[in-house]
Amino acid sequence: MSKAKYVSLAVIRRLPKYYRYLGELMNSDVDRISSVELGKQIGFTSSQIRQDLSCFGEFGQQGYGYNVADLYHEINCILGLSKQYNVVIIGAGNIGQAVANYHGFNKMGYSIAALFDKNPKVVGINIKDIEIRDIDTLDEYLINNEAHIGVICVPSNNAQDVCDILIRNNIKAIWNFAPIDLSAPDDITIENVHLADSLFILTYLSNTKLIG
């Protein structure tokens, strides 16, 4: 980790894919890999892989390639996965519960600290040993507990309100599942998961493939 140079979003969006493939290679007991071979597996050019990695440092060795475990660890650090994050989920419907139940996240240093919902019928129920709290207590909770990531799983019409609460309690990272674009100051990072958009794109592409 180093090299104080601007890294384009296109590169960053490929990092998780490198991380995933390197993890699979480790599971298959592969020790080393060249950019050509990794490119074949991922479906990128070897140039792109070397270009991408060079944004963050020099991780390879001429004539040898990359050490899989080392590179995996480097990308882990670049992504910031070596740290611990407290996550609060707002909205305990299907998507909120899906995120809360996703085993992988806990293993990777994301700890679900609290779950909130508006519906009195679910408040008090436990999901994965975490009690669902009343959404009206979100503000108070955040005043008393440090949280790093807020996950918005409420309907569109409540999403901006929830976002505002998170922001005023100093949360800088928001993972938004509501089908709306939230407004927030520049220092806040918002990553959207717009499921409907994704389904529409699938629909378009599958229809046009049949023709063209």
Residue closer to a copy of itself (CB basis): 20 or 168: 20
Report the length, in residues, of the chain. 212
Q: Where are the beta strands (DSSP E) in 46-160?
A: 60-61, 65-67, 85-90, 110-117, 126-127, 130-134, 149-152
Residue closer to DNA (CB basis): 18 or 66: 66
Asked whether the beta carbons of 100 and 126 are under 8 A apart, the reply is: no
Binding site for a copy of itself (CB under 8 A): 4, 6, 12-13, 15-17, 19-20, 42-43, 78-81, 83, 85, 93-95, 97-99, 101-102, 104-105, 108, 110, 148-149, 172-175, 179-181, 187, 189, 191, 193-207, 209-210, 212
What is the radius of gyration, based on Cα positions, of the chain? 20
Query: Residue 69 touches which of DNA, a copy of itself, none (CB < 5 to 8 A by kind)?
Result: none
Residue closer to a copy of itself (CB basis): 19 or 62: 19
Q: Which residues contact 52 (CB under 8 A, 6 or more apart)?
A: 11, 14, 15, 18
Which helix (DSSP H) or strand (DSSP E) does residue 159 occupy?
Answer: helix 156-168
Query: Residue 140 touches which of a copy of itself, DNA, none (CB < 5 to 8 A by kind)?
Result: none
Binding site for DNA (CB under 7 A): 8-11, 34-36, 44-48, 50-51, 53-54, 58-66
Residue closer to DNA (CB basis): 51 or 82: 51
